[in-house]
Chain A
Amino acid sequence: MKLAGFLLLVAGWAIVVSALALLPSAGARTAFALAGMAVELLGLALAVRSHLVLEAEGE
């Protein structure tokens, strides 16, 4: 779960960067950048959750 969280963080960033490089219109860029940011937040939530679970197991 931790690895998935970090992969999502990187994937979200890749979406943002790809949108800038590949999309010509401002509207599409904005939409994809926001979508990429949402994926990053999902990844961050997953990474946080995985550390919560790991610490609970440790105790």
Chain B
Amino acid sequence: MAPSPPLSEVSALLCFLLILLVPLAGVGLALINCGLGRARSAAHAMLAALCVTAVAAIVYVIVGFAWQGAAGRPEHVLIVGGKAWGWIAAEPFFLRGLRLDLSPAALVVLLQLFSVGLAGLIPLSSGADRWRLGATCASTALLAGCTYPLFAHWAWGGGWLAQLGANCGLGRGFLDGGGSGAIQVTGGLTALSITWILGPRRGKFSAEGLPAALPGHSAVLVLVGCLFAWIGWIGLNSGGAILFLSVEPARVVLIAVNTTLCAAASGLTTVVVTRVRFGRPDASLSANGWVAGLVASSAAAAFMKPAAAIIVGGVAGIVVPLVADLLEFQLAIDDPGGAISVHAVGGLWGLLAVALLTDAGAPGKSGGQWLAQLVGMATLLGFVLPLSYGLNWLLDRVYPQRVQREGELQGMDLYELGAGAYPEFDIHGDEFLPR
């Protein structure tokens, strides 16, 4: 595939500054994960977030980029029907031979270093209060070293999904500028795999299968996390659009406006939906609605008109609380942080929105854009989910991922770290009652 056009010095510098905002999205997700978990696992949640970010960055540098690559750089191709389809990059390990300056490939590495950590943070919220720290790190290594780079190469590194436009005439090929699919859905489907492998928290479901409410310990952390995530997402969507969609840098203003409108519409819609359903707005679900809007904005932010951004966010804000209810009440899936509904479902909606609500398709070929997006979604469900589940299932055979019973009763802080996050706070007696 043709390399991305070179960036002017000003564009590259702007892109670099935008990428530096991305870690704030990780800060936001870490705070949200921590706040939605129990007080007795709060320090564990934050330490796990740090460890996940660290493992993801190191593994990505060692092997991840070698398999992801960047558009126009060396890759292995399959020839099918006389056309070349890129399936995996052919870069050396440890970033050897890559000059880390303001070139597009180096900026891709920097952005991916942060966004692979972001993808790794997503399953953390699903495994809250029962996922061992060592297993968290090992699972993240599998994500950063295998699952993530493969799909990222296909979507962003000039792989076969990106080539659907040139090879099959499907619009501009699979479009996912800010990572609704490559980051969010990949993380969300890994979260689904983790919840299936770990099983629900002790006491979450009664013998009759009815779920008990196990509320998060700090709505303040959750809501502050949403604000951090918002800033980080503006950087993620803008930097990704410049690097992966080759949009002109002036479009970052539209992207920032759309990202904000999407989150705002989604958050407000969830406030209204929960107000109608429960009589009062639900802070946790509304925060999830806000993040779902950010997630849904990622794929389409560079192409939408502001009115479309409000629609995309509004739909995400309706869908997320409904899916969260479906998972908990009908499917007995214990997802404390709502990662599956927010990141997997929100991300899939964002990918579809590119085709439904934007003019992203190439002139005269826009009819095929929706099929390109559908193929990308099918790849996430049909390849990424089985791969992620299979790798984590194998890991669980070798190194059990769920903490022992005493750990759950005691809390992850005391059991794995030996000290709690809030030592001077009152501890409620029922925290230690066997369930």
Residues of A at the B interface (CB closer than 8 Å) are 6, 9-14, 16-17, 20-22, 26, 29-30, 33-34, 36-37, 40, 43-44, 47-48, 51-52, 55-56, 58-59
Contacts and interface: CB of A to CB of B under 8 A. Distances in A.
Contact of A10 (B80, B81, B331, B383): B383
A9 B168 contact: no
Interface string B401-415: 000000000000000
Interface string B280-304: 0000000000000000000000000
A30 B332 contact: no
Interface in B376-404: 377-379, 381-383, 385-386, 389-390
Nearest to A5: B386
A56 B208 CA distance: 9
Contact of B207 (A14, A29, A48, A59): A59
A31 to B, nearest CB: 11
Contacts of B102: none
Interface of B: 80-81, 85, 164, 168-169, 196, 199-200, 205, 207, 209, 331-333, 367-368, 371, 374-375, 377-379, 381-383, 385-386, 389-390
A45 B74 CA distance: 39
A37 B374 contact: yes
Contacts of A47: 196
B374 A33 contact: yes
A40 B381 contact: yes
A20 B168 contact: yes
Contacts of B169: 26
Nearest to B80: A21
Contacts of B331: 48, 52
Contacts of B209: 56
A11 B383 CA distance: 10
A37 B333 CA distance: 23
Interface centre among B80, B333, B371, B379 (most CB of A within 10 A): B371
A41 B337 CA distance: 24
